[in-house]
Structure 1
Amino acid sequence: MNVHENISFQGAQVLKMEETTRRLNEKEKILERLKKNLRALKESKNVLLVGSLGVGKSSLINSTITALTGKYDFYADIGGGDKHVTTTFHRISRDEYWDPEDEGDKLLCLPTFIDIIGLDAQLSSSDEKEDTVNSMLMNLIINGRLPENCDLLDVSKQLKAGKTIKDRSEEKKLTVDIIMVVISAKSPSIPQTLIDEIYREANIKKRKIPVFAVLTKVDKCDMSEQELEDKKTEICEAIGITQDKLLLCRNYQPGDAPDIETDIKILEFLTTLCNPRFKAVTLEKVEFEEPEPPPPPPTPAPSPPQSSSFWKTALQWAFVVAVIAFFLYLIQQILSKDNRYNQNTMNQRKM
């Protein structure tokens, strides 16, 4: 390497180090904003990850915790292929992954992640009047009616067989505060029927719950930047959210080195998700009364009896007959008088 090449190489190294330092400083600033939001929370939020089988829900949990702590671990069990790895109601609380050196940060209200079984879109329906296996399962989980480590495969089978769960009171610490819809960039289309059911569960049933979305595996798909942006727009419109509530990211895998860009994207997204303004509320239903029945229609006036009409007509005809008879009588009298006159005249002539 000659002198000029050595100077160019050293210059490139310096620029790279400066860029790395700048991005590390940016990551620290985002972490501070995240901590500010977390300090404003009264308690940790329960974040439910929902999506189809194999979209990367468990990997996303591990990646998010890696971005927070700088250490990768199997907080959520991951797998591959078309077999369910997550089959239970798995709750990963702050105490399982957060152990900072700063004592002041230990009580930050970091989210509790709820990892569940991948949902089969074929068990969903766009008909809001139809209770499907997925909608019933989500409703039980969202409202805290299933215990931790519940066998969700068995619950799904029982619901599919038409059985109903025995009365079980809601457990406050298990109710969901945020729903995170996870979709794989490798999927050719978004699971619209499943998304429709998530929307109904999050907006028009018992509670109204903020919804976010993540498009995973962007590093493993063949889409261009423009195609990814189009996919992002399509997902936001399907779920009914703004684009700041959707994250495009790649998931960390075991053995991956820390990546500043990945960390920054995840932490920015987490900062938005932990904003105290986003909170679930119980929908208060207003009671309504049935409208009073309309007053009965007015009773029509009784028509005169037909007998009265008959006599009226009869009297009219009797009058007509009397008039005719009277005129006939006059004519008869005139003719009779005329005949008598003619008879007298003839008698006088004979005499």
Structure 2
Amino acid sequence: MMYNEEEKWTFEKTEEEYEEERQREVRLFQKRVETGGRALNIALIGPSGCGKSSFCNSIMTAFNVEGWREWATTGHYGGLAEQVTHSLLSFPKSDYLGLSALNDYNYPTLVDMNGFNDSSDTMVEELLRIVFFGKLPEEEKLMHAVKLYRSKGIDGLRDHYSKNYEHLKIDRIIFIASATSPLPNRLMEAVRNIARKEDRVIPVFGVLTQKDRINEEDKDYQALEKDFREGLGLPYNRFLLCTTYCDDYDMHHGKSRLDQRHPELDIPILKFMRQVCDPVMKVIKDETEYKMQSPNNTATPNNQVTNEASPNESWATINGRSLPINDAMWIRGLVIAVLINVLLSFMSKSMDISRVCAEQCTGTKCHSGSVQFLCEEQSGFGRIIVTFLSVAVVVGLDIILDKLE
């Protein structure tokens, strides 16, 4: 593990000095979230494994009087954390402050968003719109929305969620990525598109985690930071490079976050969140509501909505509705075509054999033993077997493709 010169210098401070500086930052933050009005809803979004849940816990630890707790479940990709946070989870101030006296302040509600892959297709952008407009019910699995999109298309998805109550309308977006991994450029593009091209424009902030693992003077890191800030359109005051409460940091310092907090981690996060929660920054056209038709779509002369297809997706219009044609549908069509060809061939041969049997056989007896055997094989049972196997292949294929999807 690598630590830069700035952190080596800061380690020379005493714990008392750190705590004094932390308390000063807490007081400055509380001036930004004074009583009155309502608390901001802040969405935290990033790809799996970027340290998003650790950053979420670190924010709440910096706000909390008692120290670190695992409010947002963390873990490795594919484990329990992925299963839990593939739905929308919110953490209002009443969950994490731990001191009733602080409840008068407008500490923000943190909305933990997971389940978004590095993608920027039509479905991902619409799901982001649904979340940012507060239309996705809390703890609802994102996979439910994905299945709805697959079955009813983009119009069905919009129609379903447009009827929901606005529960957690997002006021700020914090995009989180790792300083040691390739950037999720397509997801960054999708977030920027929805946050800034809609009528309701939401301020976007960016965080790179795992500062303790990189050298800030390294050219590769500097190029990554530049791409990250430009990809989200971030000035320096809306960007943070930080280390979060995690196992690696505990091991490096030889003290557990369960027993003792790390004020050196709290301070930069408190400074950053003071900028995020600055009431001077406004959401443009904040009262705008979720619409059935995205402002980015244009209407055709016959009032049909033109949907932007992803690179691996084509569209067909059936009864005036645009439906996606994906790779699985092409595979199903190909297999069914092959099965139909085989059945037609079987039926053609069956008709020829039936004609020979009619000419060579009288009742149940045929002129030749070989013809007798052939005609017996040409029974209805054989046809039933072939038909049953064909149906089984199509059904099995459908199940397998759904699982793969």
Q: TM-score, normalised by structure 1?
A: 0.68
Corresponding position: 1:158 with 2:148: yes
Query: 1:108-139 CA deviation, whole Å, 9 max, x = no partner?
Result: 11110111223111x314xxxxxx22101111
Partners of 1:263 and 1:226 in 2: CA distance: 25
- The 3-state SS of whatever aligns with 1:282 is coil
User: Structure 1 unaligned runs (5+)?
Assistant: 1-14, 126-131, 286-351
Partners of 1:81 and 1:172 in 2: CA distance: 31
Partners of 1:149 and 1:241 in 2: CA distance: 30
Letter in 1 for 2:130: L
Kept in 2, the 8 Å contact 1:117–1:153? The answer is no
Q: Percent identity?
A: 25
Give the C-alpha shift of residue 200 in structure 1. Answer: 1.1
Letter in 1 for 2:26: L
Partners of 1:41 and 1:247 in 2: CA distance: 28
Query: 1:18 and 1:82, CA in 2 relative to 1: closer, same or farther beyond 3 A?
Result: closer
Kept in 2, the 8 Å contact 1:53–1:82? The answer is no
Query: 1:81-112 CA deviation, whole Å, 9 max, x = no partner?
Result: 345231111111111111326x3x32111110
Query: 1:167 and 1:51, CA in 2 relative to 1: closer, same or farther beyond 3 A?
Result: closer
Give the C-alpha shift of residue 273 in structure 1. Answer: 0.7
Kept in 2, the 8 Å contact 1:54–1:82? The answer is no
Match of 1:236 in 2: 229
Which structure has more relative contact order (CA 8 Å, sep 6+)? It is: 1
Match of 1:182 in 2: 176
Match of 1:9 in 2: none
Partners of 1:136 and 1:77 in 2: CA distance: 26
Rg larger in 1 or in 2? 1
Kept in 2, the 8 Å contact 1:232–1:246? The answer is no
Work out which of the residue numbers 30, 40, 49 in structure 1 matches 2:44: 49
- The 3-state SS of whatever aligns with 1:49 is strand
Corresponding position: 1:115 with 2:112: yes
Query: 1:189-245 CA deviation, whole Å, 9 max, x = no partner?
Result: x2222111111111111310000011012224x544444444333211111110111
Query: 1:18 and 1:46, CA in 2 relative to 1: closer, same or farther beyond 3 A?
Result: closer
Corresponding position: 1:218 with 2:211: yes
Match of 1:291 in 2: none
Query: 1:240-259 CA deviation, whole Å, 9 max, x = no partner?
Result: 11011111112213643422
Letter in 2 for 1:81: Y
Work out which of the residue numbers 69, 74, 87 in structure 2 matches 1:73: 69
Partners of 1:204 and 1:58 in 2: CA distance: 27
Work out which of the residue numbers 62, 66, 72 in structure 1 matches 2:57: 62
Partners of 1:258 and 1:148 in 2: CA distance: 30
Corresponding position: 1:87 with 2:80: no
Kept in 1, the 8 Å contact 2:40–2:108? The answer is yes
Kept in 1, the 8 Å contact 2:130–2:161? The answer is no
Give the C-alpha shift of residue 26 in structure 1. Answer: 1.8
Query: 1:280-323 CA deviation, whole Å, 9 max, x = no partner?
Result: 232779xxxxxxxxxxxxxxxxxxxxxxxxxxxxxxxxxxxxxx
Partners of 1:201 and 1:100 in 2: CA distance: 36
Work out which of the residue numbers 179, 201, 208 in structure 1 matches 2:194: 201
Partners of 1:250 and 1:39 in 2: CA distance: 28
Give the C-alpha shift of residue 60 in structure 1. Answer: 1.0
Letter in 2 for 1:31: V
User: Structure 2 unaligned runs (5+)?
Assistant: 1-9, 248-255, 289-294, 296-405
Partners of 1:48 and 1:98 in 2: CA distance: 18
Q: CA RMSD in A?
A: 2.5
Give the C-alpha shift of residue 157 in structure 1. Answer: 3.3
Letter in 2 for 1:80: H
Letter in 1 for 2:125: S
Letter in 2 for 1:182: I
- The 3-state SS of whatever aligns with 1:212 is strand
Q: How many residues align?
A: 260
Letter in 1 for 2:124: N
Give the C-alpha shift of residue 269 in structure 1. Answer: 0.5
Query: 1:55 and 1:16, CA in 2 relative to 1: closer, same or farther beyond 3 A?
Result: closer
Give the C-alpha shift of residue 167 in structure 1. Answer: 5.0
Match of 2:130 in 1: 140
Letter in 1 for 2:279: P
Query: 1:3-24 CA deviation, whole Å, 9 max, x = no partner?
Result: xxxxxxxxxxxx9897433332
Corresponding position: 1:278 with 2:281: yes
Work out which of the residue numbers 10, 16, 20 in structure 2 matches 1:21: 16
Partners of 1:230 and 1:20 in 2: CA distance: 34
Kept in 1, the 8 Å contact 2:35–2:105? The answer is no
Letter in 1 for 2:73: D
Letter in 1 for 2:77: G
Kept in 2, the 8 Å contact 1:50–1:118? The answer is no
Match of 2:26 in 1: 31
Match of 1:106 in 2: 103
Q: TM-score, normalised by structure 2?
A: 0.59
